[in-house]
């Protein structure tokens, strides 16, 4: 059985381990090119958000420069032979293939003069909304402002040339003709029997081009940095969360929101935990979950009260016996949560582990997967170079059988989360000898003021991973997304977007 047959067998039997393969890369750096503060065009291109739409036919990425780039799937639509032969690509034809669609500047740098605060243009989160009339809708946010975008193909209209000889034209609607070799006489070309080749200009539609328009701006509702936005299953509302509050918005109303969660204490010196991530339940429009820096996850029901100070359920790891260290609470902070497609299970990621929770069982996680167990002896080094505060995202497959999350050295790990599964795979989003490089149009050069906002953490790298390989703290895979209907993962390493499939 060859590799393709094994992949087909694995897709037919979900219990078999998947054979992951490289598919595409967009915007990969050439050898020797560094993403650093000096390279403005590359530093602001570092990807900070990834999201598939509900169909999986479109993919959006956001970067530190406030730009949103859209990709569209081509292999499912192009069945007329436009796809290249297997011998030309060296890849099976059935793998999902995307192409660059368009890009637009979502956010620009701002300055809050009242608070003397500089607001970065970096895109923190992207969320797709329901499509309508062939148009795509999505939400994007930086630290303070959320925007609602509509992307639609617009046909380019051109005016056809007049089908006449311009050298013979004298005036508007007249042609010079001579009578008996004498003085030219002007005849009206519109008289029957005149110039039959003359016609009026005609407006015709040519190829279409995607155009992005900002429909609404939701601003001035958060005092702290927005870390999450999430769409409701009702298609009408969404939430936005910062460190201390969660607000509920209506997509049609941009000038007001409702505060549904507020964990700010009466005195800020009594503050013990902050909100790190928030997510709506995928099917129940009245339920949502949010995580905290203490490692807990709270499930709340919007039907209980207008201000959800109390939670319906609290999910947290039973307190481990033994002494606590200075780093115990730091590494327990939950950086990301994701509901499975059907909504019963919830995936969470803290610095060391990936956990799967059953929302019907709040006694503890149903499964825990070690991601950074080998980093325990290195916590002091990680704290000194700020790597311990890296916020790794997680994602779960559409069938809920597998989950994935990132690590250092541009590695990401895939775990089987179904009962009894021991499946695990580690892949690196940077080394593949048969990789195809698909460029993304480079962004225009930016003002000098934007350079000073890019913070470089230096080039420290030390430690080893679980396989005794050298570990590079400066190359990290923080953002990734799982295709909603297929075993396909999109992940970001610096300013490059990598696609893998199984």
Segment 297-327, tens digit of pLDDT = 999 999 988 888 888 899 998 877 677 788 9
- The rounded distance, in Å, linking the Cα atoms of 478 and 393 is 6
Q: 413 - beta bridge partners?
A: 405, 426
Average pLDDT over residues 5-31: 71
pLDDT at 323: 75
Q: How confident is the model at residue 11 (pLDDT cuts 50, 70, 90)?
A: low
Question: Token pair for residue 96?
Answer: 């999902």
Specify the 3-state DSSP secondary structure of 203.
strand
pLDDT at 434: 61
Q: Give the predicted TM-score (pTM) of the model.
A: 0.79
How far are the Cα atoms of 4, 74, 209 from residue 79, in angstroms, in the given order? 20, 9, 22
| Of the ranges 92-106, 311-325, 343-357, 429-443, the best mean pLDDT one | 343-357
Q: How confident is the model at residue 16 (pLDDT cuts 50, 70, 90)?
A: confident
pLDDT at 35: 47
Angle at 231 between CA 226 and CA 233, to 5 degrees: 155
**pLDDT tens column, 29-45:** 665 555 444 334 457 88
Query: Strand 488-493 to strand 174-178: parallel, antiparallel, or no bridges (unpaired)?
Result: unpaired
| Tally: H helices and E strands in the chain | 6, 34
- The rounded distance, in Å, linking the Cα atoms of 37 and 331 is 28
Q: How confident is the model at residue 157 (pLDDT cuts 50, 70, 90)?
A: confident
Nearest to 223 by CA among 279, 253, 263: 263
Query: Which helix (H) or strand (E) element contains residue 369?
Result: strand 367-370
pLDDT at 114: 80
Percent of the chain exceeding pLDDT 70 equals: 74
Residues 6 or more apart in contact with residue 288 via CB below 8 angstroms: 230, 239, 246, 278, 279, 280, 281, 299, 300, 302
Question: DSSP label at 398?
Answer: T
Instruction: Check: CB of residue 241 under 8 Å from CB of residue 278.
Output: yes
Who has greater pLDDT, 471 or 258? 258
Alpha-carbon torsion angle 418, 420, 422, 424, nearest 10: 10
Q: Is the pLDDT of residue 273 over 80?
A: yes
Q: 248 - beta bridge partners?
A: 239, 258
**pLDDT tens column, 446-496:** 433 332 233 333 333 445 555 555 677 889 999 999 999 999 999 999 889
Indicate the domain borders of the chain. Answer: 3-160+201-501
Who has greater pLDDT, 14 or 413? 413
pLDDT at 196: 56
Averaged pLDDT score across all residues of the chain: 81
**pLDDT tens column, 85-135:** 333 334 444 678 999 999 999 999 998 888 888 899 999 999 999 988 889
* Ordered alpha helix ranges (H), 13-114: 40-43, 86-89
**pLDDT tens column, 57-90:** 999 999 999 999 999 999 765 433 344 333 333 4
Who has greater pLDDT, 212 or 197? 212
Following DSSP, what letter does each residue of 59-88 receive, concatenated? EEEEETTSEEEEEEE-TTT--SS-SPPHHH
| 3-160+201-501 placed in CATH 2.130.10.10 | yes
Q: Is the pLDDT of residue 167 over 60?
A: no
- The rounded distance, in Å, linking the Cα atoms of 421 and 401 is 9
pLDDT at 162: 57
């Amino acid at each position: 059985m060859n590799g393709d047959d094994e992949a087909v067998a694995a897709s037919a039997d979900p219990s078999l381990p998947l054979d992951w393969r490289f598919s595409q890369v967009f915007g990969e750096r050439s050898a020797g090119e560094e993403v650093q503060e000096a390279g403005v065009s590359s530093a602001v291109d570092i990807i900070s958000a990834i999201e598939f739409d509900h169909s999986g036919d479109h993919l959006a990425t956001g970067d530190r420069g406030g730009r949103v780039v859209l990709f569209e799937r081509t292999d499912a639509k192009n069945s007329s032979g436009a796809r290249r032969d297997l011998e030309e690509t060296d890849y099976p034809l059935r793998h999902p293939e995307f192409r660059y669609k368009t890009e637009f500047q979502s956010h620009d740098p701002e300055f809050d003069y009242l608070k003397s605060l500089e607001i970065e243009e970096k895109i923190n989160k992207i969320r797709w909304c329901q499509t309508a009339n062939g148009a795509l809708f999505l939400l994007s946010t930086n630290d303070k402002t959320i925007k609602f975008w509509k992307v639609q193909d617009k046909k380019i209209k051109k005016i056809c040339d007049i089908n006449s000889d311009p050298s013979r034209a004298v005036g508007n609607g007249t042609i010079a003709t001579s009578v008996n070799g004498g003085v030219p006489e002007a005849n009206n070309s519109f008289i029957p029997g005149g110039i039959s080749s003359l016609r009026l200009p005609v407006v015709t539609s040519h190829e279409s081009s995607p155009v992005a328009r900002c429909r609404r701006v939701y601003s001035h509702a958060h005092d702290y940095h927005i870390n999450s936005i999430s769409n409701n299953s009702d298609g009408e509302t969404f939430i936005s969360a910062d460190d201390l509050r969660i607000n509920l918005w209506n997509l049609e109303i941009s000038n007001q929101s409702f505060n549904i969660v507020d964990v700010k204490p009466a005195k800020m010196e009594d503050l013990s935990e902050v909100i790190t991530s928030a997510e709506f339940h995928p099917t129940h429009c009245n339920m949502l979950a949010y995580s905290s820096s203490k490692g807990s996850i709270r499930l709340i029901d919007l039907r209980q009260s207008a201000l959800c100070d109390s939670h319906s359920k609290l999910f947290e790891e039973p307190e481990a016996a033994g002494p606590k260290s200075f780093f115990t609470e730091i590494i327990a902070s939950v950086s990301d949560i994701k509901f499975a497609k059907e909504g019963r299970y919830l995936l969470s990621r803290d610095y060391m582990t990936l956990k799967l929770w059953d929302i019907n069982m709040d006694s503890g996680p149903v499964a825990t997967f070690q991601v950074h167990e080998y980093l325990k002896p290195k916590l002091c080094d990680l704290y000194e170079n700020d790597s311990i505060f890296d916020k790794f995202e997680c994602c779960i497959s559409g069938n809920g059988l597998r989950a994935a999350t990132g690590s250092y050295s541009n590695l990401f790990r895939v775990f089987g989360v179904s009962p009894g599964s021991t499946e695990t795979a580690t892949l690196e989003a940077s080394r593949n000898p048969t990789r195809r490089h698909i460029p993304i149009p480079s962004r225009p050069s930016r003002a000098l003021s934007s350079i000073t906002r890019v913070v470089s953490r230096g080039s420290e790298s030390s430690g080893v991973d679980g396989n005794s390989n050298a570990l590079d703290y400066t190359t990290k895979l923080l953002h990734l997304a799982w295709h909603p209907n297929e075993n396909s993962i999109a992940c970001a390493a610096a300013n490059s977007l990598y696609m893998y499939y199984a």
